[in-house]
Amino acid sequence: MPVMLPPLDEVLAGASVVSVPMRVRFRGVTVREAVLLQGPLGWGEFSPFVEYEDVEAASWLAAGLEAGWTGWPTPLRDQVPVNATVPAIGAEEVAALLDRFDGCDTVKVKVAEPGQSVAEDLARVRAVRAHWPDAAIRVDANGAWSVAEAMTALRALSEVGLQYVEQPCRTVEELVELRHALDRDRVQVPLAADESIRKADDPLRVARSGAVEFAVVKVAPLGGVAATLTIADQLAALGVRMVVSSALDTSVGIAAGLAAAGALPDEPLACGLGTVTFFTADVCEDPLLPVAGRLPVRAHAPVPNPAPFAADAARTAWWIDRLTRCWRVLEARAS
């Protein structure tokens, strides 16, 4: 189902720029900015990270427009499991943070934070294992390690027992090299790709390489729910299991991730969609927070109340200009 490109003036008329404070620093962010888009079918979100160029950010706009103007496919289930997420915090903070994730049995832990050591990563992961002994644990390095650094880190982290490590190295070639090195040294850690899919000209190249067993996908960077489901079918044909995750969205954007997970042919692995808990408050009065480790799949995003989170005039102007540029990118793609 192609994403409809509504007139720019119509998109701007329904756009609200918001700034939402966070409980902890996550991905270097302490305040999350987003544009909420009201269309005839409901609400969408446009929130590419500020450093992304327009060509990349335009796919995020396509996802927001799909939510408000095209709609999502009929779901095959009414709820999906989600994982808890632990940012690069001190080990002593882990237990209190995990207690905010009601009933989750899978945990994703951020590692390889600039300025932190493998010892700090290991302490954080050990704290997760100590607090939730039976949890499935994933770690995410965001492509920060070289192959040698990944081998050193994963030899240490493997003691805890990992479901997978997400994007340990930046390039597909490095992931292939790492896979061979782990197998050679009998280090039992499956690999997952994230940036190698959502930032790649050919998102399936890493799957075809044989280096990864899992793929972490995010609806906004891929251009919407329909595009995500197409990638899911292709990944499944290559024997790669998919995990739907968040791009640090508000509940409006999280609903799109849930729509994708809810329309997958098979029951999804625990999704990384429980991240609304990182906000001090959410733009929706009924935020999408995990209950018994699951989130509901909805036909449309929950209705937000942007007013209390309105960005200041300068940031609003910056985002509206960015949205306009990205709309032009989509217009050029459609021509």
Residues with active-site annotation: 110, 218
Give the DSSP letter of residue 213.
Answer: S
State the pairing for strand pair 164-166/191-193. parallel
Query: Coil, strand or helix: which one is 286?
Result: coil
State the pairing for strand pair 136-140/106-110. parallel
Q: Which residues face 218 on adjacent strands?
A: 245
Q: Which residues face 310 on adjacent strands?
A: 18
The encoded tokens of residue 274 equal 């429980």
68 φ, ψ (degrees, to nearest 5): -90, -25
Alpha helices in the chain (DSSP H): 8-13, 54-65, 94-98, 118-131, 147-157, 172-185, 195-198, 205-208, 219-222, 225-237, 251-262, 313-334
